[in-house]
Structure 1
């Protein structure tokens, strides 16, 4: 993870930099693909009251950027509050990835369960039998025409010599069509 720690209107000390770097390292425990992290610390003085504003942003792969801003009189308290909020967001995202199965996986598992049973699904309905598709070498159009004429099929799906998927079909008038 690339980290960047910047101080605006405020000089960063080594202890502050180490504290923020340790905070970034603590967020890596969620095993998410964190691309980069940026922390901008700025001094904020309004109406004679001194304080700090800490902006914290995390860039996640395949997800939006997480941006958190916190104001506090104590710099370390502000950093702790931001790390806690970032941990909560990352934990939720991590839990979604680890506990919720993908909908496609559920569908595939259900289909596999159905195909494994040997009994018909419903009375009067034929059993579903899985079959392997045969992979053919690319065909020339003349060869595909010959194959379709010799068969009783209405159409033939094949890859031509340019690796394009083509469909050759019999029309009602007896001629052949190519799509």
Structure 2
């Protein structure tokens, strides 16, 4: 198992933090069969008021991803390991069904508490559907509309192309735009 541990935003992980990350990640990696996971990518960032831990674990049939912020780096590492473990528990049945379609046996080595799994899945059901009308506007107008609405994102049509776009507020306070243009036929 290979760990790609990198720092971001000026943060340089110490040997102690690297050892702590590897020790904690074993808890998540142990859920998988020996050959199911080759590596885990961990990005550690430090900001003015908090630290952030981002983990990506690509494996067959599933890509686990977690992003956790906390004032303390060690607490953020602990929380992200817990979050990844919950994701595995939540998606275990779905992943097994996909694997059986492809002829694979299992990528997981440990069994989970199915009663706890059922409670968690029930808590994550879709509970609301909403229909909105989207209007053509500029990115600046969309940011203003988003701020006025009090939401963290806003869907709009690009004023020039009429393609759907999504503007959202990033964790660092800046804004970003996602182009949601339909795929063109080749």
Q: TM-score range by the shorter chain?
A: 0.3 to 0.5
Larger RCO (CA under 8 A, 6+ residues apart): 2
TM-score, normalisation: structure 1: 0.48
TM-score, normalisation: structure 2: 0.46
